[in-house]
Amino acid sequence: MVRALYPGSFDPVTNGHLDVLQRASHLFDEVLVAVANNESKQALFTAEKRVELLRQSTASMPNVRVTSFEGLLVNFARSQGARAIIRGLRAVSDFEYEFQMALMNRSLEPSLETLFLMPSEEYTYLSSRMVKEVCRLGGEIGRFVPDCVREALLSRFPGQHPASELSQKQP
Ligand code: ADP
């Protein structure tokens, strides 16, 4: 039983995260998505809401579980018996931060490997931050996130969207 951990903020989960998760779920017996409950990072959604949106979005992936964690990632990975950390790499801009974090985690826990997976090209420009910004300014985000996330975002930024859109499903 080889378990991998996919940690992140997931504020909120996007189709890019789900692409990476799908790929990881084919490589491991179980993938545990771990929502970082990090008070120093200002999040739009609570950790509970981010977990709920991830659970709804991954309901069709049988070997994926979702939870949240606080504190040091390597400690949490150890407590879960995880052998690998999954991270997504979109562009060179992700590389420096990810490289530093992977090497720091390796020095803290040498038996834990970090694996980087690339999403499909259509998601390489997608980030939670960008989706929130587009939605806040009134843009349509249905192509970038699952339905449940679209609805959660529209209810956070109702002022910019016509009332008819709020209950409308993704086109
Ligand atoms: P963090 O705050 O830990 O970076 P994120 O939720 O932003 O949390 O991202 C979690 C992981 O998912 C990171 O490794 C990030 O590079 C990756 N990721 C985010 N968006 C995408 C995407 N569109 N395609 C592939 N990987 C992504």
- Per-10-residue mean pLDDT of the chain, 171 residues long, equals 97 98 98 92 95 98 97 97 96 90 97 96 95 96 97 90 59 47
| Confidence (pLDDT) at 168 | 53
Phi-psi domain of 169 (left: phi exceeds 0; alpha: psi -120 through 50; beta: other): beta
| Confidence (pLDDT) at 171 | 47
The residues that bridge with 107 in the sheet, in sequence order, are none
pTM (two decimals): 0.93
- Alpha carbon nearest to ligand 1 atom 9, residue: 8
CA 144 to chain centre: 13
- Active-site residue identified among 50, 68, 87, 90: 90
Amino acid present at 84:
A
| Confidence (pLDDT) at 147 | 98
- Alpha carbon nearest to ligand 1 atom 21, residue: 16
| Confidence (pLDDT) at 123 | 94
What interhelical angle do 47-57 and 147-156 show, nearest 10?
A: 150
For residue 12, cis peptide bond before it (omega within 30 degrees of 0): yes
Cα distance between residue 135 and residue 25, in whole Å:
29
Helices (H), 14-144: 15-25, 47-57, 73-79, 92-108, 128-136
Say yes or no: CB of residue 12 within 6 Å of ligand 1.
Answer: no
| Confidence (pLDDT) at 9 | 97
- The H or E element containing residue 156 is helix 147-156
81 Cα: distance to centroid of ligand 1 (angstroms)? 22
| Confidence (pLDDT) at 14 | 98
